[in-house]
Structure 1
Amino acid sequence: MSQALTLARPYARAAFNAARDEGRIKAWSDALGFAARVAADPQAQAVLKHPQLTAAKASALLAGDTADASFGRFVEMLADNRRLELLPEIAGLFEQLRADAERVVKARVTSATPLSDAELVAIRDGLKRRFGRDVELETAVDASLIGGALIDAGDVVIDGTVKGKLARLQSALAA
């Protein structure tokens, strides 16, 4: 996985720079998201790896009807370099570059029970103060956490779950 990210990084930067220069970051984000979903599909992977598939046909398949010509050329370049399988990683890295440019932190909040709107606002405000950026929250429920919440904001993970506290207590007692 880390090798795929290493290989995908220059392509993601090139795609982001092209999108930014064209003023079409949102359009490229949507097109990359679509292409990544198609490239990740097992049936599509078989087609994309077929030796008779030309770069132009691969671009037509992955770019869809809504993508512009520059995105089509980008996908053709990936096909020429045999890097179509990197599209999911490229799309993920592109989204990170987009979030950095827009000064947005994306955080995932996993809790034992569904959180109220007031709790989500409090979490969002706390993260906004901590990072000095706007925060986009994604929520999930995992009953195995017993109570509390786990916040994953990229490099920062805040574990306030009962399950996490019990695990830390168990480690401390075992040491």
Structure 2
Amino acid sequence: MANVLNKYAESLLEVAKGQGVAQSVYSDLLEIKQALVNDSTFAAFAEDPKISKEARTQFVSETFKGVDAPLMNLLKILADRKQLGLIPGIVDAFVEYYNNANQQAKMKVESVYPLSSEELDALGKVFIEKTGYKKLLIENIINESLIGGIRATIGTTVYDGSVINELNQLSKSFQKQ
């Protein structure tokens, strides 16, 4: 299944880049996924075998009428093949391909309190230099269990500068002695 999702996502990115609308498609996909995650009626509709191809295609045309042509074409293909339920997975795969193509990544920053935009910008600059990415999409998450400091996650790499981590490291070093 992941292979199908990747093929759809990769093809969409290629066509969107060719037409100069990759950024717009990226934004639309994020909005579509956010809307679908919270909509159980869409999930039921997407999985209902009783709904005809024509009804699905008409639904897609009316619901997503403001999106760029490459995305609309993909949505119509999914409707025609009764695969609308694949949209969230395709979005995830597209985001990964888009981020790789644009040398950007998501960065989750955990802190005890909300960080200001200046603090997040400063952290972003440090991690851009450290990782080589051109851009980091930073999300600040409050985690009071850290006691202080921050924990940053980019992909599968965790940079832990929290007080709780320092205390754990100190405890481990005492246990070794």
What interval of TM-score do these two structures reach, taking the shorter chain for normalisation? 0.7 to 0.9
Match of residue 18 from structure 2: 21
Distance 1:8 1:118, change over 3 A: same
Distance 1:149 1:38, change over 3 A: same
Match of residue 134 from structure 1: 135
**Aligned partners of 1:20 and 1:50: how far apart in 2?**
33
Deviation at 1:6, TM superposition (A): 4.3
**Aligned partners of 1:59 and 1:37: how far apart in 2?**
21
Match of residue 67 from structure 2: 67
Aligned 8 A contact 1:55 1:76 in 2: no
SS of 1:139's equivalent in the other structure is strand
Q: After the TM superposition, which of the residue ranges 163-172 and 45-54 deviates more from structure 2?
A: 163-172
Match of residue 100 from structure 1: 100
Match of residue 34 from structure 1: 31
* C-alpha distance after superposition, 1:106-144 (max 9, x if no partner): 211110122244432331121111122222322121112
* C-alpha distance after superposition, 1:8-56 (max 9, x if no partner): 2121111111111111112212332233234432121112212232344
Distance 1:102 1:144, change over 3 A: same
Give structure 2 stretches of 5+ with no counterpart.
none
Aligned 8 A contact 2:53 2:79 in 1: yes
TM-score, length basis structure 2: 0.79
1:58 corresponds to which of 56, 59, 73: 56
Identity over aligned pairs, percent: 25
Letter of the 2:162 partner, please give it. Answer: T
Aligned 8 A contact 1:60 1:72 in 2: no
Give structure 1 stretches of 5+ with no counterpart.
none
Distance 1:61 1:130, change over 3 A: farther
Deviation at 1:156, TM superposition (A): 1.9
TM-score, length basis structure 1: 0.80
SS of 1:140's equivalent in the other structure is strand
Distance 1:148 1:56, change over 3 A: farther
Letter of the 2:93 partner, please give it. Answer: L
SS of 2:119's equivalent in the other structure is helix
